[in-house]
Amino acid sequence: GESVGLHLPTLSVQEGDNSIINCAYSNSASDYFIWYKQESGKGPQFIIDIRSNMDKRQGQRVTVLLNKTVKHLSLQIAATQPGDSAVYFCAETLLSGYSTLTFGKGTMLLVSP
């Protein structure tokens, strides 16, 4: 899991490096997953999503990998930039019927110039 009480897990990288942020989700029945980015003082912002019938999905500079066997998601950010510094959350839900999102506790990404 991600929670460390008051202190978020933190990943520190240099500008230009590739970043990998991990997330363990809780419900084996979840079939839809979303990554959010939250910059300081702002609300969470959608980055990328993936359905459970996929293992990988790519966006612009970001890739999400899904391993249903171990209930694990990862977000890969290529050529990380200082503007990528933020807290990243994964969220899980069910596509069928009505289901709310369950959020992970987040990982802070710090990018040094």
Partner 1 sequence: NAGVTQTPKFQVLKTGQSMTLQCAQDMNHNSMYWYRQDPGMGLRLIYYSASEGTTDKGEVPNGYNVSRLNKREFSLRLESAAPSQTSVYFCASSTPGTAKNIQYFGAGTRLSVL
Eight-class DSSP state of 95: S
Contact flag: residue 29 with partner 1 (CB under 8 A): no
Contact flag: residue 89 with partner 1 (CB under 8 A): yes
- CB closer to partner 1, 78 vs 101: 101
Contact flag: residue 62 with partner 1 (CB under 8 A): no
Contact flag: residue 53 with partner 1 (CB under 8 A): no
Contact flag: residue 70 with partner 1 (CB under 8 A): no
Give the list of residues 6+ apart from residue 82 with CB closer than 8 angstroms, or none.
Answer: 15, 111, 112, 113
Q: Find the binder of partner 1 among 25, 85, 86, 106 (CB under 8 A).
A: 106
Buried b (16+ CB within 10 A) or exposed e, 74-91: bbbbeebeeebbbbbbbb
Q: Find the binder of partner 1 among 21, 75, 104, 109 (CB under 8 A).
A: 104
Backbone angles phi, psi at 84, to 5 degrees: -85, -10
